Amino acid sequence: MGENPNLVTIDPNGDMLIKLKYRSTAQSKWKNESESVEDWIAQAEAAKAVIENETARPEQKPTEVHYLVSSRQLRIVSPYFEKMFKRNYDETVPNSEDGLYHVRAQQWNPHALAIMLNIAHLQFAAIPKELSVRLFVALFLVADYYQMEDALRLFTKEWQEQLQEQPMPTLYSEESMLWMFLGVKLKEGEIFESMASLAMREACHPIQFLDLPFPRGEKGERFFLMHKSLLTLIGVGQLDSMRCKAIQALLAGTHKLNQDLYEGNAGCNDACSAMMLGFLQRSLWDTKLLSHIEKHDQHPFEGLSFDVIYRGINNVVYDQSYGIIIQAGCCQIRDLLYPICEKAEAHFELDFSTF
């Protein structure tokens, strides 16, 4: 037998034990963006092997925490528990040894579960004044699963204000996706839009939603967002297709321009077309994008982000503007490239009509 589990008393007169098992060494679900899909698969297999090894070794058992709670209180606050008792599951038969109802729980952050249970029991003194972004997210995960979000929302105002005072992430990362999740849950349009934009522009693979319970945009799972006095209907599942459409528009537009220059359909004369073609090809070669524009319809664009292509294209403009003295009155490639960029970026607009 292992050590006795920790007991957290939420209600001293409680009649139910929630028995949580969790691993403190749980792996992050975030995958390094600069690696290939093959690397990801290899890492997942390695991680699986580690977990299998751990379960083979008794000292690597998960930690167990028990929470003493009131079943009546939880049934009032949570439709999940109410349903459990109405349907007479095994958990609703008192344990023969201690007379308590025993309910198993897994994988939750133990602090988040304690906070949520304290909220459900209105134990104000035990509810923290400050919360990290990660714990805030973990709290919503618990609330989402046990259907206690209404109760949680009575207490989020202060934490939400703290969040607004913190600097937002500036790169697409695990952290930015946690922020995006909070942006959705707290109906903070500005946070959601900024973090969604980072994800769509910088993701080199399909966007990593980290298995967070985002509304996916399927029927009945959309949510409304109030922002800039617009009521926007969002399904985050669509962010991925917006990313792909924008990348495709950028690659296809550049591909067409390349062809038009080859055929002399762009530029004011042959010499002008040839010169612009030279700049375009040289820059695409330098930025390793030449082969990608040929494959402009190959979704989901693994290993390629919108911003990398965008910077590559702007590099062309820089080359022509500063590399040589442009003949008076002759064309500038930026006038041909900017409309392509603009058209591509239009796919990022979180517009009511695109959902």
69 vs 266 by CB, closer to Zn ion: 266
**Residue 125 neighbours by CB distance under 10 Å:** 5
44 vs 330 by CB, closer to Zn ion: 330
Regarding 276 and contact with Zn ion (CB under 5 A), the answer is no
* Contacting range for Zn ion; rule: CB under 5 A; set: 81-89, 120-128, 134-142, 331-339: 331-339
Give the nearest distance from C-beta 273 to Zn ion in angstroms: 8
* Contacting range for Zn ion; rule: CB under 5 A; set: 16-24, 139-147, 228-236, 328-336: 328-336
Give the CB-side neighbour count of residue 226, counting CA atoms within 13 A.
3
Binding mask 281-320 for Zn ion (x = CB under 5 A): ----------------------------------------
Give the nearest distance from C-beta 342 to Zn ion in angstroms: 21
Binding mask 228-267 for Zn ion (x = CB under 5 A): ---------------------------------------x
* Contacting range for Zn ion; rule: CB under 5 A; set: 103-111, 178-186, 228-236, 322-330: 322-330
Which residues, in sequence order, are CB contacts of 218 under 8 Å at separation 6+? 235, 237
Regarding 47 and contact with Zn ion (CB under 5 A), the answer is no
Give the CB-side neighbour count of residue 339, counting CA atoms within 13 A.
7
Q: What part of residues 148-207 is at the interface with Zn ion (CB under 5 A)?
A: none
Give the nearest distance from C-beta 263 to Zn ion in angstroms: 15
Give the nearest distance from C-beta 231 to Zn ion in angstroms: 47
Give the CB-side neighbour count of residue 350, counting CA atoms within 13 A.
25
* Contacting range for Zn ion; rule: CB under 5 A; set: 25-33, 124-132, 167-175, 330-338: 330-338
**Residue 155 neighbours by CB distance under 10 Å:** 18
Regarding 331 and contact with Zn ion (CB under 5 A), the answer is yes
Residues binding Zn ion: number (CB under 5 A) = 5
105 vs 275 by CB, closer to Zn ion: 275
> Residue from 250, 272, 333, 337 that binds Zn ion (CB under 5 A)?
272
Written as six digits, the tokens of 218 are 């399927």
236 vs 277 by CB, closer to Zn ion: 277
Dihedral angle, C-alpha 43, 296, 340, 235, nearest 10 °: -50
Please give the residue ranges that form the binding site for Zn ion (CB under 5 A): 267-268, 272, 330-331
